[in-house]
Amino acid sequence: MAVLIECVPNFSEGRNKEIIEAIVDEVRKVKGVKLLDYSSDEDHNRTVVTYIGDTDSIKIATYNLIKKASELIDMSIHKGGHPRMGATDVIPFIPISDITMDECVAVAKEVGKKIGDELDIPVYLYEEAATADYRKNLADVRRGQYEGFFDKIKRPEWKPDFGPDVMNVKSGATAISARVPLVAFNVNLGTNELAIADKIARTVRFAGGGLRFVKAMGVMLEERDIVQVSMNLVNYEKTAIYRAYEMIKMEAMRYGVSVIGTEVIGLLPMKALIDCAEYYLQIENFSIDQVLEKRIVE
């Protein structure tokens, strides 16, 4: 299969349809990139766009989107419920197929540098692309938001990685990085006692001494009158779906409760499921290149 990178930029406009469409159009225009989804939140006044493509195409589409956002969005008059520091607020690149995290970090840096140089926007690298530990967490980078950045940017420890050392009044500042894909995986239990789902969630999640890359909480599904352990698997390669699933099944047993089904919410990479088939079927020496769809038409 060809190289496939996913990009999920968030930009600070969730109300004006004309502006939103004009920005999303920049993705539609680039051959080699496919728009998967975009959704706007009026309260947050923010839009999240999802697209995939090869390395070169995704760089072009992302730069064009950011450029268009810098032309059409004026951060000096932006109001919205979600924390934000720029017109294009945050840009994560996600390795999907035939590409490493390091290569996605390189893409983030290249696009970040171009935004800084050509659009005069201060750029911060975070998470996998961060240049220092204290810059890894997006919440730390963004703290103070657009309004606070006019001062924050002057502090030496918050000197931008690329672009000018002063705020761009119209476009604000932008955070760019690479991260692994999230898998949203929920496990439904044969009980309506929320306390049981809560207890299991606490056991399985990282915060409670459970699996490193699992975030989990108990949720009541009123309509079906059952409870659910709702999870975000933030690194499915290191904490595989089947491991979280089997652990929940095991924990549920102590309450005499069984797993009655599970759900995958939204998209996930093929490998996240194929890893599970490999485990359960005990497949030796399997290579993802044995999957026909990996041999995609060029």
Chain residues binding its own copies by CB under 8 A are 1-2, 4, 6, 32-34, 36, 52-54, 57, 96-97, 181, 188, 241-242, 245, 259-264, 266-270, 273-274, 276-278, 280-286, 290-298
- How near is the Cβ of 108 to its own copies at its closest, in Å? 19
Q: How far is CA 174 from CA 7, 112, 244, 259, in A?
A: 15, 8, 34, 43
- Exactly one of 44, 78, 82, 143 is catalytic; name it: 82
The set of residues, in sequence order, having a beta carbon less than 8 Å from that of 180 and lying 6+ positions away, is 94, 95, 101, 234, 235, 236, 237
Minimum CB separation of residue 75 from its own copies in Å reads 32
Specify the residue, 56 or 165, whose C-beta has the smaller distance to its own copies.
Answer: 56
Q: How many CB atoms lie within 10 A of CB 217?
A: 14
**Cβ at position 289, least distance to its own copies in Å:** 9
User: How many of the other CB atoms lie within 10 Å of CB of 190?
Assistant: 15
Cβ pair 260, 189 in contact under 8 A? yes
Q: Which is nearer to its own copies, 2 or 106 (CB)?
A: 2
Place of tokens 């041999």: 295
CB of 199 to its own copies, least distance (A): 21
**Least separation, in Å, of the C-beta of 165 and its own copies?**
38
Distances in Å between the Cα of 83 and the Cα atoms of 78, 146, 213, 272, 276 are 11, 9, 24, 31, 36
Q: Tell me whether residue 78 is one of the annotated catalytic residues.
A: no
Instruction: Indicate the residue among 2 and 72 with the shorter CB distance to its own copies.
Output: 2
- 10 Å CB burial of residue 26 (0-12, 13-18, 19+) is buried
Q: Give residue 159's Cα distance to chain centre.
A: 25
User: What is the rounded distance in angstroms from the CA atom of residue 201 to the CA atom of residue 221?
Assistant: 15
DSSP per-residue codes, 160-226? -SBS-SS--TTTB-EEEEE-PPPEEEEEEES---HHHHHHHHHHHSGGGTS-TTEEEEEEEETTTTE
> What does the DSSP 8-state code read for residue 49?
E
User: Smaller CB distance to its own copies: residue 170 or 249?
Assistant: 249
Least distance to its own copies, CB of residue 65, Å: 17
Query: How many whole angstroms separate alpha carbon 187 and alpha carbon 259?
Result: 7
Active site residues: 82
